[in-house]
Chain A
Amino acid sequence: MTPRTLFAKIWDAHVVHRLPLPDGPELLYVDLHLVHEVTSPQAFEGLRLAGRRVRRPELTVATADHNVPTGDRALPITDALAARQVGALAANAREFGIELFDLASPRQGIVHVIGPELGLTQPGMVIVCGDSHTSTHGAFGALAFGIGTSEVEHVLATQCLVVMRPKTMEVRFEGAPASGVTAKDLILALIGRIGTAGATGHVIEYTGEAIRGLSMEGRMTVCNMSIEAGARAGMIAPDDASFAYLAGRPRAPEGERFTRAVARWRRLKSDDGATYDARVTLDAARVGPQVTWGTNPGMVADITARVPDPAGFASAAERQAVERALAYMDLQPGTPLEGLPIDRVFLGSCTNARIEDLRSAARVVRGRRVAAGVRALVVPGSQQVKAQAEAEGLDRVFREAGFEWRNSGCSMCLGMNPDILASGERCAATSNRNFEGRQGRGGRTHLMSPAMAAAAGIAGHLVDIRRWA
């Protein structure tokens, strides 16, 4: 048999039927459909108008995360439109028989944090959600990708999706990252190298020693940002670390079934000699802590670097884009990134708000104080992460240092709720997008790892975590 990639194995196992067209898309079966309040109301409305039902409500799970306030959960949502949207999700879940983890649930959280946490995310699955960071779930060796609202409606109605087979790309991280260099730095370095459209049309499989050495949290961070390189999905073959993470999770198979599942999951890896449409290799040992300086995640550099000069870019379009970005970010070419003063810190998002992320930030913060004039926020990725952190006393560490300690949600990752940057404020953020206005109109976002963001909050400016005493 021809050697196949991990992607091909999962894809082939989910093809219901191939449309009889030359470049024919395929009808792909979906094992798990995650739903949230922002991209689903129009889909449910579409079902109602057409008199259609949800084909497999038991394979569909909903949570409210994007627009929810992160303050006191006992208070009603004050934003009327946000309240209406969260209310619509609850009503739709009830009407169509879908399980919902709502604001009152101790299992509520960012959809890409709770999927794995509940053990819903499992190797070999096809997982979709009306959210581009669905790629996160690929960390478990699932094929997981974001879809639009019309496609959400299509999956609700048919449990299938019509998709063109994407191309494959292997991204190999060789060597071991230096101390202070995290999963976030690896993925930012990749995006810096191949650009925000570098993997468009491709599913990335991450391989190599540095990836094997990552925890599941770290792997999720890497897969999460695949979309920022333009990729359809990112995935990592499952191994003992993945199985250990899943064991005992509420929705993972139990007992004998788990053992059998693991035996199946072990076959989920690319065969020797399998070919990819594209290949990129990076030396993890040469990656330093990364920080973005511009208005997309590809505008990134080592913390020891300086703000680039637009004149140094090859094409006119790039020069123009960099000029625009520097004007928006209020940065002068040649300014060292280290030492850049910041006003805000955001520790959160589906990229970096899992327990390991909070632990690494807390280690930096312990016994210190946030710099004068800096406002710092911790928004755990889920209520379970929050509870775990509190059990470990991390909330006290953050609070004593002057951080605000919140309930879970997307929060200032996209600023749909009241957590936003004021115009001109500069933020050290652990999220995934530094687009213009993403965290608030006129707000300036620098993406980095949790430890780097925490250290920036204490110092009041960007720092090189490798020299943090």
Chain B
Amino acid sequence: MTPFVRHAGRVAALPRVNVDTDQIVPKQFLKRIERTGFAPVLFHDWRYRADGSPDPAFELNQPAAAGASILLAGANFGCGSSREHAVWALREHGLRVVIAESFADIFYANCCQNGLLAVRLVTGEIAELFARHTRAAGRYDVVVDLEAQTVVDDAGFHAAFSIASYHREMLLRGLDEIGRTLLAEGQIAAFERERWNAEGGTAGRASDLAVPRSDFRVPRSGEGDVA
């Protein structure tokens, strides 16, 4: 994953609330088995008219939004489906930051996994950014600093944001989460032993709720005829 430390870039504004992942990448484009190839269909049904031509009314089609790397949006961004394709599309389109008042939980987690920084600011700050973006006729740039946890422009805007230290680390260092978890292999194995030995619920922290391994019938291949 590309580390994220500090990023200066053009802001594109999407003043809509509850932007769901069905809009970010419509379902007809989810059939790819690769992580790439989603940028051309980002916001497809909003971005293109039914005849396939770009819709000039769509915010991201404004000339000033060309090359934008920071998306400013309304509250509850990324709600709905868990599709990570939405984040892949945003990244591939060249976006490094999404700024909104709030994000849906799964979308937020997906951002952290892909080096897309999701910045939560409060209502007043979001409104101010939208206003500055409008005043600048869309030619509006900001600097997002993950180390300092700030968003600033060169005309006095300054906002601080919070982020869990784990997510901050992961983004700052571009960490591979799986590699990191596998370092805890000893603990995972111990956990499994403890749980599975605890059938009957005697002792141990997991014992009273354990789902013993023996309660699973290990599937036979080709099984499926249990009608």
Identify the A interface with B (CB < 8 A): 9-10, 12-14, 16-17, 19, 21-25, 27, 29, 31, 38-39, 41-42, 45, 50, 52, 55, 58-59, 61, 66-67, 79, 81-82, 84-85, 88, 99, 101, 105-108, 122, 124-125, 130-132, 146-151, 153-154, 157-160, 162, 164, 166, 196-197, 200-201, 227, 230, 232, 250-251, 253, 257, 260-261, 264, 267-268, 296, 317-318, 320-321, 324, 384, 387, 414-416, 423, 433, 435-438, 441-442
Contact = CB atoms under 8 A, between A and B. Distances in A.
Interface in B71-126: 74-76, 79-85, 87, 102, 104-106, 109-110, 113-114
Contacts of A200: 76, 102, 104-105
Nearest to B109: A148
B173 interface: no
A27 B166 contact: no
Given A17-B187, A196-B18, A264-B209, A148 B182 contact: no
Contacts of B87: 148
Interface in B171-227: 177-178, 181-182, 184, 187-188, 191-192, 195, 199-201, 205-206, 208-211, 214-219, 221, 223-227
Given A25-B164, A318-B17, A433-B22, A151 B109 contact: yes
B104 A59 contact: no
A435 B80 contact: yes
B135 interface: no
Interface residues of B, number: 72
Contacts of B84: 39, 42, 148-150
Given A13-B209, A153-B178, A132 B82 contact: yes
A435 B80 CA distance: 9
B195 to A, nearest CB: 8
Nearest to B176: A50
A26 to B, nearest CB: 10
15 contacts: A12-B205, A16-B188, A17-B184, A21-B166, A41-B34, A55-B188, A79-B31, A148-B82, A149-B110, A164-B164, A197-B75, A197-B102, A264-B209, A321-B18, A324-B16
Contact of A158 (B31, B169, B182): B182
B82 A13 contact: no
B6 interface: no
A159 B192 CA distance: 10
B226 A250 contact: yes
Contacts of A16: 184, 187-188, 191
B59 interface: no
Contacts of A23: 164-166
A232 B22 contact: no
Contacts of A318: 17
Nearest to A126: B211
A353 to B, nearest CB: 18
B114 to A, nearest CB: 7
Interface in B18-60: 18, 20, 22-23, 26-28, 30-35, 45, 50
Contacts of A132: 80-82, 106
Nearest to A56: B192
Contacts of A124: 209, 211
Contacts of A441: 26, 45, 50
Contact of A317 (B20, B23, B28, B75): B75
A79 B110 CA distance: 28
Contacts of A261: 215
B27 A416 contact: yes
Contact of B216 (A22, A157, A251): A251
Contacts of B15: 317, 320
A253 B215 contact: yes
Given A42-B33, A59-B216, A200-B102, A125 B23 contact: no
Contacts of A22: 165
A196 B74 CA distance: 13
Contacts of B76: 196-197, 200, 230
B30 A416 contact: yes
Contacts of A42: 33-35, 84
A164 B192 CA distance: 21
Given A415-B28, A435-B20, A160 B181 contact: yes
B177 A154 contact: yes
B30 A38 contact: yes
A52 B226 contact: no
Contacts of A251: 216-217
Given A13-B209, A197-B79, 7 more contacts: A12-B205, A55-B188, A124-B209, A153-B178, A227-B80, A264-B208, A317-B15
B224 A105 contact: yes
A45 B181 contact: no
A122 B211 contact: yes
A157 B178 contact: yes
A459 to B, nearest CB: 29
Given A29-B188, A230-B105, A13 B208 contact: yes
A79 to B, nearest CB: 7
Nearest to A99: B219
Contact of A257 (B206, B209, B215): B215
Contact of A154 (B74, B181, B215, B226): B181
A34 to B, nearest CB: 12
Nearest to A118: B226
A197 B104 contact: yes
